[in-house]
């Protein structure tokens, strides 16, 4: 998120990725709000502008435009997969709800701003685009709803049946070969 880009580990990761031309795609979901502060408090300029300082090309896209996001991701993945190194995408969107269960965004956000962003709902935008292309009808709606219900049922089942592994399992797949420290 936009707030995480001010943390040291994000910057360290970008230094590493740039230095070693790692095939990494950094994606910042800029929802324009920290807990109760607008992104403008932590960044006077677009966040995507930080990446070139690390030697990483970047794009800033409308995060509520699924087609623009797919195109940006295709560009970034092509770079990474072809050995050209990392890329950075800033997807500008909006946090419609509270940041946490104890947050009341009505204290610091204007209702008109929230309503304006609500009219830019990415799902409604994709639906409108598909309808213009005659690719969205009641049959399609039903098949999507059925697939979503199946997916949700599978996720619920997986969550309800999940079991914790033994604490030592945290080392599974970490080391290529066993060693004395791990044995201890």
CB 63 within 8 A of CB 69: yes
**Cα torsion angle, 60, 64, 65, 71, sign:** positive
Residue 36: the pLDDT is 81
In sequence order, which residues have a C-beta less than 8 Å from that of residue 153 and are 6 or more positions away? none
φ and ψ of 30, to 5 deg = -90, 95
Residue 139: the pLDDT is 93
- Dig out the tokens for 82 from the structure: 């072809």
Residue 110: the pLDDT is 92
Taking Cα atoms as reference points, which of 82, 72, 95, 83 lies closest to residue 26? 72
Residue 77: the pLDDT is 98
Residues facing residue 68 across a β-bridge: none
Q: How many whole angstroms separate alpha carbon 30 and alpha carbon 114? A: 15
Residue 109: the pLDDT is 92
Instruction: List per-residue pLDDT tens for the chain, 184 residues long.
Output: 888 888 899 999 999 999 999 999 999 999 999 878 889 888 889 999 999 999 999 999 999 999 999 999 999 999 999 999 999 999 999 999 999 889 999 999 999 999 999 999 999 999 999 999 999 999 999 999 999 999 999 999 999 999 998 988 888 888 888 788 877 8
Residue 3: the pLDDT is 86
CB 92 within 8 A of CB 62: yes
CA distances to 175, 177, 184 from 180, in Å: 12, 10, 6
φ and ψ of 125, to 5 deg = -65, -45
Residue 30: the pLDDT is 96
**Cα torsion angle, 148, 154, 159, 164, sign:** negative
Does the predicted model carry a pTM greater than 0.85? no
| Burial letters 130-149, b for 16+ CB under 10 A, else e | eeeeeebeeeeeeeeeeeee
- Please classify residue 63 by burial: count the beta carbons closer than 10 Å to its beta carbon, then call 0-12 exposed, 13-18 middle and 19+ buried: buried
């Amino acid at each position: 998120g936009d707030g995480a880009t001010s943390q040291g580990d994000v910057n360290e990761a970008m230094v590493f990725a740039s230095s070693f031309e790692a095939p990494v795609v950094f994606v910042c979901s800029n929802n324009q709000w920290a807990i109760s502060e607008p992104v403008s408090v932590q960044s006077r300029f677009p966040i995507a502008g930080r990446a070139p300082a690390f030697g990483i090309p970047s794009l800033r896209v409308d995060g509520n435009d699924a087609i623009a996001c797919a195109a940006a991701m295709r560009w970034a993945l092509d770079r990474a997969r072809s050995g050209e190194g990392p890329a950075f995408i800033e997807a500008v969107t909006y946090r419609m709800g509270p940041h946490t269960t104890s947050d009341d965004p009505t204290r610091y956000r204007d209702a008109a701003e929230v309503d304006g962003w609500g009219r830019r709902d990415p799902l409604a935008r994709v639906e409108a685009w598909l309808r213009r292309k005659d690719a969205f009808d009641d049959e399609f709606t039903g098949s999507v709803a059925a697939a979503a219900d199946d997916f949700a049922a599978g996720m619920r089942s997986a969550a309800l049946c999940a079991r914790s592994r033994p604490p030592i399992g945290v080392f599974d797949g970490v080391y290529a070969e066993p060693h004395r420290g791990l044995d201890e």
